[in-house]
Amino acid sequence: MQALVTYKQTNYKIDFSKPLDISLSLRGDDKNPVAWYLNAPKIEPVQDGNWIGKVGRGGSVNFNNIYFNPHGHTTHTECVGHITPEYHGLNESLKTFFFSAKLISVEPVRSGGDEVLTKDQLKCHFREGEAQAIIIRTLPNSIAKRSKHYSHTNWPYLEEEAAVYLRECGVEHLLIDLPSIDREEDGGKLLAHKAFWNYPKHTRFGATITELVYVPSRIEDGFYFLNLQPASFENDAAPSKPVLYKPEKI
């Protein structure tokens, strides 16, 4: 199936039979990625007396309970409700699901013992109004990201000025292949989150942050269209499945 999309007075053809999935699947074992000091998620059959929800163990159907945290176990999309005292849910924040997007690859630089993504780095790859969404793939890129245990690793993060830059460029949806755009341990400052959402003075309630994506190295940097589909959880965040489509200019 193909579709014609117009963006900024340019027509593009999109082949929906060629999706590029940049989400992580959720597993019920130690091969699942983990952050924020959590244990691995669990996927296990329901048991009720002598009945078990697993065909391989005599049940009539497979019927599993799943125990996980969207922030720490899988690709997830979050809204500003992640950092507000009052409730703001993702379902009320994200109303449309198809966006222009640019994928960039950036190698963090050393700063004060940390690895950071800077405003100057982003300026080399992205300019104002270029796309509604940005996907940041950190380098080096390894398949090990699909099962990495991030707790106590002090992963790379966005400097506050970098998040401000993306906001000022008009980016509405920020995607990254790390557990957070902020430092693992920052004393609760959450500077990049607050800067991107412009919280609390002029909060961008419709903007989202998607973390723990995985972009295979075979997917080239450049312009795409993004289908961002979170599960319908009444929560500040939900597991999501971002999918890219490479357009053809016509």
Hey, what are 207's tokens? 């903007």
Residue 238 has pLDDT above 90, yes or no: yes
Q: How far apart are CA 74 and CA 68, in angstroms?
A: 9
pLDDT digit string (tens) for 61-92? 999 999 999 999 999 999 999 999 999 999 99
Residue corresponding to tokens 């998607």: 210
Hey, what are 123's tokens? 């300026």
pTM for the model stands at 0.97
Q: Omega into 179 within 30° of 0, i.e. cis? A: no
pLDDT digit string (tens) for 142-156? 999 999 999 999 999
Q: How far apart are CA 216 and CA 145, in angstroms?
A: 10
pLDDT confidence tier of residue 3, bands split at 50, 70 and 90: confident
Q: Which residues pair with 7 in a beta bridge?
A: 10
Concatenated DSSP letters of 173-189? EEEESSS-SS-SSSTT-
Q: How far apart are CA 128 and CA 50, in angstroms?
A: 61
- CATH (residue range 2-25+70-249): 3.50.30.50
Q: How far apart are CA 231 and CA 29, in angstroms?
A: 22
For residue 232, give the 3-state DSSP assignment: coil
Mean pLDDT of the region 122-131: 97
